């Protein structure tokens, strides 16, 4: 399988590590060759017979660049690479953009799909802003557009619903889907401030680059929109989500909730109202008997409601980059198996 990376941050690096150390994982039989790596800041590399990932990871670690020899850098932009290179799958891992409504990632994905190339992406932007369009484009061109890691760090949520509930209709969901705010709220329960919490989450490497994405609820709104669109047939964007952040929470209100046997959690919800679907992201008081109450640190959880099962809850305990990277790899396996790629 020939892979083109657009975006080569922590998730791509962890995927590369797994590719390099594939022998550690007995069930992982994915044959991959990375033919292109394109980034916003470090330029791009292309190599038909496969890029040496060990060398790239070393170079990034030692000198924060893709290659020691600048002459090796490609003259293509990421979009041009998606348009012209010879690859099987685009792995799109650029950062979430609300302002630009999923761009430029959506354009990278569109370009690949138009060429009949499949896409695996951990990016929430395109799936929350452009799902219907991209899905139809993929179907028209015999390609797949998959995004398991866009929500819940690669824990199988989209696949759970599409592969394990084939006869059931999802009618709603609720969940904790933003680790950073969950961490900050826990920190406030101990008397810490919002600002301290943000700083600690940034130091732990889990906060979005722009704190507003987390703190003002944009990241969970993108996730809620993605779930509503993919699982419930909705056609909304993150801008349509009834959105609340955690800026109004103080250490005092967080501690007051704890005193009353509750915890404050930033909950995402999706529900149906006749033929319409809605989503919200709100700070809610959660009871001590509720599993959401036990989601601490960067964990996440989602409760899925359907017509043929009582609610199932999926909990992702202490996720890190391994989970997000594996979610994308799971998408690659699906693409390989569905399209008969080698």
Q: What is the closest distance, in whole angstroms, from the C-beta atom of residue 292 to its own copies in the complex?
A: 10
Q: Are 247 and 216 in contact (CB under 8 A)?
A: yes
Side-chain half-sphere of 138: how many Cα atoms within 13 Å?
21
Q: Are 318 and 297 in contact (CB under 8 A)?
A: yes
When binding is defined by CB under 8 A, the residue of 76, 210, 317, 341 that contacts its own copies is: 317
Q: How far apart are CA 244 and CA 67, in angstroms?
A: 43
259 binds its own copies (CB under 8 A): no
**Which is closer to its own copies, CB of 129 or CB of 147?**
147
Site for its own copies in 21-60 (CB under 8 A): 24-30
Q: What is the closest distance, in whole angstroms, from the C-beta atom of residue 324 to its own copies in the complex?
A: 10
154 binds its own copies (CB under 8 A): yes
312 binds its own copies (CB under 8 A): yes
Q: How far apart are CA 51 and CA 81, in angstroms?
A: 15
Task: Name, in order, each residue with C-beta under 8 angstroms of 183's C-beta and a sequence gap of 6 or more.
Answer: 197, 200, 201, 204, 206, 297, 298
**Which is closer to its own copies, CB of 280 or CB of 316?**
316
204 binds its own copies (CB under 8 A): no
Name the token pair of 179: 């680790």
Site for its own copies in 273-302 (CB under 8 A): 289-291, 293-294, 296
Closest CA to 198 of 182, 186, 184: 184
When binding is defined by CB under 8 A, the residue of 63, 116, 313, 338 that contacts its own copies is: 313
20 binds its own copies (CB under 8 A): no
Q: How far apart are CA 180 and CA 214, in angstroms?
A: 6
255 binds its own copies (CB under 8 A): no
When binding is defined by CB under 8 A, the residue of 42, 320, 339, 341 that contacts its own copies is: 320
Q: Cβ of 25: how many Cβ atoms within 10 Å?
A: 12
Question: Which range binds its own copies by CB under 8 A, 104-112, 177-185, 259-267, 310-318?
Answer: 310-318
Q: What is the closest distance, in whole angstroms, from the C-beta atom of residue 64 to its own copies in the complex?
A: 27
Question: Which range binds its own copies by CB under 8 A, 74-82, 99-107, 157-165, 278-286?
Answer: 157-165
Name the token pair of 253: 């209100």
DSSP letter at 275 equals T
Instruction: Using the structure block, give the residue that is written with the tokens 């401030």.
Output: 193
Q: How far from 105 is each of 5, 97, 188, 209, CA to CA, in Å?
A: 12, 9, 35, 16
**Which is closer to its own copies, CB of 68 or CB of 291?**
291
Binding site for its own copies (CB under 8 A): 18, 24-30, 154-156, 159-160, 163-169, 289-291, 293-294, 296, 303, 307-320, 322-323, 326, 329-330, 333-334, 337
């Amino acid at each position: 399988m020939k892979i083109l990376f657009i975006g080569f941050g922590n998730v791509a690096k962890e995927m590369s590590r797994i590719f390099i150390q594939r022998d550690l994982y007995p069930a992982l039989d994915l044959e991959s060759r990375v033919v292109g790596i394109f980034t916003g800041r470090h330029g791009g590399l292309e190599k038909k017979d496969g890029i040496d990932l060990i060398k790239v990871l070393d170079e990034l670690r030692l000198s924060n660049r893709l290659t020691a020899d600048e002459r090796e850098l490609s003259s293509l932009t990421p979009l041009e690479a998606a348009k012209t290179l010879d690859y099987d799958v685009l792995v799109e891992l650029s950062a979430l953009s609300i302002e630009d409504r999923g761009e430029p990632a959506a354009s990278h994905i569109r370009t690949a799909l138009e060429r009949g190339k499949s896409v695996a992406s951990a990016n929430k932007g395109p799936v929350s802003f452009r799902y219907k369009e991209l899905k139809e484009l993929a179907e028209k061109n015999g390609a797949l557009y998959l995004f398991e890691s866009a929500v819940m760090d690669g824990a199988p949520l989209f696949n759970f619903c599409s592969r394990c509930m084939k006869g059931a209709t999802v009618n709603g969901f609720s969940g904790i889907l933003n680790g950073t705010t969950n961490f900050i709220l826990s920190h406030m329960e101990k008397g810490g401030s919002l600002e301290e919490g943000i700083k600690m989450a940034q130091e732990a490497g889990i906060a979005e680059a722009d704190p507003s994405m987390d703190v003002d609820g944009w990241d969970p709104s993108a996730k809620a929109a993605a779930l509503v669109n993919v699982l419930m047939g909705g056609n909304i964007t993150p801008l349509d989500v009834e959105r609340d952040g955690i800026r109004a929470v103080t250490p005092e209100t967080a501690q007051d909730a704890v005193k009353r046997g509750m915890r404050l959690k930033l909950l995402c919800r999706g529900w149906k109202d006749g033929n319409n679907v809605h989503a919200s992201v709100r700070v809610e008081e959660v009871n001590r008997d509720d599993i959401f109450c036990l989601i601490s640190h960067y964990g996440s959880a989602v409760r899925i409601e359907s017509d043929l099962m009582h609610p199932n809850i999926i909990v992702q305990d202490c996720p890190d980059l391994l989970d997000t990277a594996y979610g994308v790899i799971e998408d690659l396996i699906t693409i390989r198996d569905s399209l008969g790629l080698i």
